[in-house]
Amino acid sequence: AELTQEELFQQRIDADQRIEPKDWMPEAYRKTLIRQISQHAHSEIVGMLPEGNWITRAPSLKRKSILLAKVQDEAGHGLYLYSAAETLGASRDQMLADLHAGKAKYSSIFNYPTLSWADIGCVGWLVDGAAILNQVPLCRTSYGPYARAMVRVCKEESFHQRQGFEIMQTLCEGAPEQKAMAQEALNRWWWPTLMMFGPKDDESPNTARSMQWRIKRFTNDELRQKFVDMMVPQAEFLGLTVPDAKAKWNETKKGYDFGDVNWEEFWQVVNGNGLCNHDRLQARVDAWEEGAWVREAALAHAKKRAARV
Ligand code: FAQ
């Protein structure tokens, strides 16, 4: 019997061939990619806010210029990702309108406040660490433009993670007050970073199909396990303790056991009720409104140039 379009599509996926913008694809594949890529883009853009909060208060000129560069990198990632979503037929205006209306999701992690300088260390070390674990496999995701965007993004994220770790190391080798500040920040950021990987596999409606389509290469729980396995030794190296009494090496599974994430908190934050959801969204809406004159001027300029030729 002849294969259906959908079967041919799955064959290409199974043979690890990339899907490109003009190729036939099931509508649900297109939809889930627009969903994931636009959420990812929004996360990068909203993700500038917690760190942006510390640019004016960074402890030295060197730290300030590094942080400024990092936050600019996140803006670049966001714009890359909006472009990747546009190749699937999504309009940028619509994606932004959905974000500003509070309809679009972005990563839960950016709804937590950055209270001390050590939080900037934790964002780089833990949040970017989680981001890299999640995004390195996305360099092999089945949709070409998304996969290619991830290559550069991951290179920059690796630099971000190193700078975060180095902030933590400096604090941990410093005065007792600095080390205490590092531990206190770790206590607050540990569980929210475990939530970045999404709900447990058996409560994740999208995982099975996204794995079949090779959009995702690992499940949420697989990546969360890798994260714990990577981070517990790094915390020990720093002389810090992760705030989980159940975090213990398990020789049989060759990985760490760890405690349960507070899923109630996770869904509260995802559904708009985290500590900073309101402020984050308001900051994006204000930026959009205050930038209206720039968009108008750019359009007027483009029109004038087009009329000149
Ligand atoms: N927060 O069925 P699943 C960064 C939603 S890194 C909010 O498992 P899926 C770098 C999910 O959307 C952060 N919502 O979904 C940076 C779905 O809702 P929907 C961004 C979450 O897609 C660092 C529902 O729950 N990274 O920005 C979260 O298969 C520092 C059910 O979940 C990416 O976006 C969450 N944590 O798996 C920037 C990576 N988790 O859409 C600045 C790409 C789940 O059905 C500073 N994305 N939900 O209404 C992915 O890998 C996947 O989308 C997952 C979720 C793994 C996040």
d(CA 242, CA 96): 37
Instruction: Give the Cα separation of 65 and 81 in Å (integer).
Output: 25
Euclidean distance between CA atoms 21 and 283, whole angstroms: 33
pLDDT at 257: 98
Q: Which atom of ligand 1 is nearest to the CA of 195?
A: 36
Q: 2-22 pLDDT, tens per residue?
A: 999 999 999 999 999 999 999
Best of 132, 206, 209 for a ligand 1 pocket test (most atoms within 8 Å of beta carbon): 206
Residue recorded with tokens 């900037």: 120
Count Cβ neighbours within 10 Å for each residue of 164-191 and write b for 16 or more, e otherwise.
bbebbbebbeeeeeebebbbebbebbbb
CA–CA distance, 1 with 68 (Å, rounded to integer): 59
- All residue ranges of the chain with pLDDT < 70 are none
Helix, strand, coil percentages in the chain from 3-state DSSP, rounded to 5? 70, 5, 25
The residue contributing the CA closest to ligand 1 atom 52 is 36
Cβ < 6 A, ligand 1 pocket = 35-36, 39-40, 43-44, 47, 74, 105, 107-108, 123, 127-128, 131, 134, 195-199, 204-207, 210, 220, 270
pLDDT at 309: 77
Rounded to the nearest 5 degrees, what angle is found at the Cα of 137, between the Cα atoms of 135 and 143?
Answer: 90
Q: How much distance in Å is there from the Cα of 108 to the middle of ligand 1?
A: 8
Q: Taking a C-beta distance cutoff of 8 angstroms, is the pair 156, 73 a contact?
A: yes
What is the ipTM metric for this complex?
0.97
CA dist., res. 258 & res. 227, Å (int) = 11
pTM for the model: 0.97
Query: How far from chain centre, in Å, is Cα 183?
Result: 23
Query: Does residue 103 contact residue 34 with C-beta atoms inside 8 Å?
Result: no
**DSSP code per residue over 36-94:** HHHHHHHHHHHTHHHHHTTGGG-SSHHHHHHHHHHHHHHHHHHHHHHHHHHTTT--HHH
Q: What pLDDT is attached to residue 1?
A: 79
